[in-house]
Chains A and B, each alone.
Chain A
Amino acid sequence: MIDVAVVSFAQRQEASIPGESEVEFMVPLMEQAKAAVDLTQADMGFTCSGSSDFLAGQAFSFVMTIDGTGPVPPISESHVEQDGAWALYEAWVKIQCGGIDTAFVYGYGKSSPGSLRDVLATQMDPYYVCPLWPDSYAVEALAARLMLEGGHVSERRLAEIAARSRVSAASNPHAVRSEPKTVDEILAEDHVLDPLRPSDLPAEADGGCAIVLAAGDRARELCERPAWIRGMDHRGDAHTLGVRDLTSSMSARLAAQHAGVADDKVDLAELYGPFTTSEHLLIDALGLDEDATAINPSGGALAAHTMMASGLIRIGEAASRIWSGDGDRAVAHATSGPCLQQNLVCVLEGD
């Protein structure tokens, strides 16, 4: 295996970015990530992005953002209609193939012009489910009741997860939900979709992030303490809700096993749990010990949820804590699809 590290990360998340197109807000972000390690687009061996034409409302919308990278002379690039974390996975594989020692990865989404919870119904089965337009909150609420009534989690535990996110988010300038609330205040909230309360829901945001990967000695030149990717894997559950056990996450468990999460201590974990219920399932599926591991020091997707970027942002948040020395071994996780259908787990370590 070729050692690959995250060496640069830039992000922007705001409740909405009304005055700028995705390309307009991504160009400065991409420049920032490259400038931080003194690289230009011409230095990148490969470029890969994650975004959604569905959110952009336009076919091949990502091509305009590629133009924003400054792809002259012509570049080697790819795109995934997935969270940017899967773009990072592709870039990691590309570096493993040899011949390059840098890659540029970004992901972005602007969901504020529509209603994301409704738009997400379109990722469900097109014949059996989508025509009924169950929104993402409704679908998660079905899983939440199974978890609550099956004794897999308590409402208090979910409120504690929400309260913890708010405390962590207070020191994250990119968080869009950070007002502190006590567990009792959260439990007193009216239901949005019984049994889910407002604090159980993702804090929707517009934005994106950009990351630079580098291999071996190149990474050591560019970064004082590179965040080495020691393991990475992604797995998927069945698409149909009715054939899945929604009270656990088989695919997240498998991805964690294959990424080697349990091989050593974990100082911190950045988990893409859009809902408190998802964060609870992920802690269990990844086998994390909350007394030993700081869970979502950024606040996670409960503090800022940028569709198509939140998974890549988890990797960036985890890496930046390796750079700073706040942790030596970190786990980053990304998800996609209804009720944690697809999961990616990445283990990062400092020297």
Chain B
Amino acid sequence: MASEVLQAPLVLEYPFTRSTGPVIGAFLTGLREGVICGIRRADGTVLCPPLEYDPLTAEPLTELVEVGQSGEVLTWAWNGEPRPMQPFDRPFAWALIRLDGADTSMLHAVFADSPSDMSTGMRVRAVWRSEREGHIADIAGFDPDPDPAGLS
């Protein structure tokens, strides 16, 4: 019996596109516009950065809300020398920052001159990059807020 070699075309491809979705996508788009978004949970508290699902109840979340660009440092760690991959060009503090209007915190950098200028509970304000692309590093970092009462 003659042997028949079976043949079929093989096309190497990634047959899918990847999207950041309705919640993360909205947050990143907001950053491009200089706006920071959170998302409201069923109990009225606000998660920032926003998550698609409630971390405790797993309920889908949809109500995006704008939060403040200033907030409070909940904890910090001094990073005297940025490591090669980190998008910061000077010593800084890592911090968990709870923005005004949010109930949870986001991880980002605070630019202080030294660890003695850092303290838990201090107020900080977002510093924006001039060219933004919808990326977490569109926020260049946070500066200690010289006007914590917002009087000016």
Q: Which of A127, A133, A139, A239 contacts B20 (CB 8 A)?
A: A127
B12-36 vs A, Cβ < 8 Å mask (1 yes, 0 no): 0000000010001001100000000
Q: Is the CB of B55 within 8 A of A121?
A: no
Q: Is the CB of B105 within 8 A of A242?
A: yes
Q: Which of B78, B87, B104, B136 contacts A127 (CB 8 A)?
A: B136
Asked if B95 is at the interface of the complex by the 8 Å CB criterion, the answer is: yes
Q: Which of A132, A134, A196 has the most chain B CB atoms closer than 10 A to its own CB?
A: A132
A238-B107 contact, Cβ under 8 Å, with A127-B136, A131-B137 = no
Task: Report B-chain residues with C-beta under 8 Å of the C-beta of A193.
Answer: 77-79
A132-B28 contact, Cβ under 8 Å, with A142-B77, A238-B55, A241-B107 = no
Q: How large is the interface on A (under 10, 10 to 19, 20 to 34, 35 or more residues)?
A: 20 to 34
Please count how many residues in chain B sit with their CB below 8 Å of the partner chain's CB atoms.
36
B74 to chain A: closest residue by CB: A146
Task: Report B-chain residues with C-beta under 8 Å of the C-beta of A141.
Answer: 77, 94
Task: Report B-chain residues with C-beta under 8 Å of the C-beta of A131.
Answer: 87, 135-137
Task: Report B-chain residues with C-beta under 8 Å of the C-beta of A129.
Answer: 107, 136
A132-B83 contact, Cβ under 8 Å, with A141-B77, A243-B104 = no
Query: Which 4 residue pairs are nearest across A and B when measured between Cβ atoms?
Result: A141-B77, A242-B105, A238-B55, A133-B85
Interface residues of A (CB under 8 A from B): 118, 121, 127-129, 131-135, 138-139, 141-146, 149, 191, 193-196, 238-243, 246
Interface residues of B (CB under 8 A from A): 20, 24, 27-28, 47-49, 51, 55-56, 74-79, 83-87, 94-96, 98, 104-109, 115, 120, 135-137
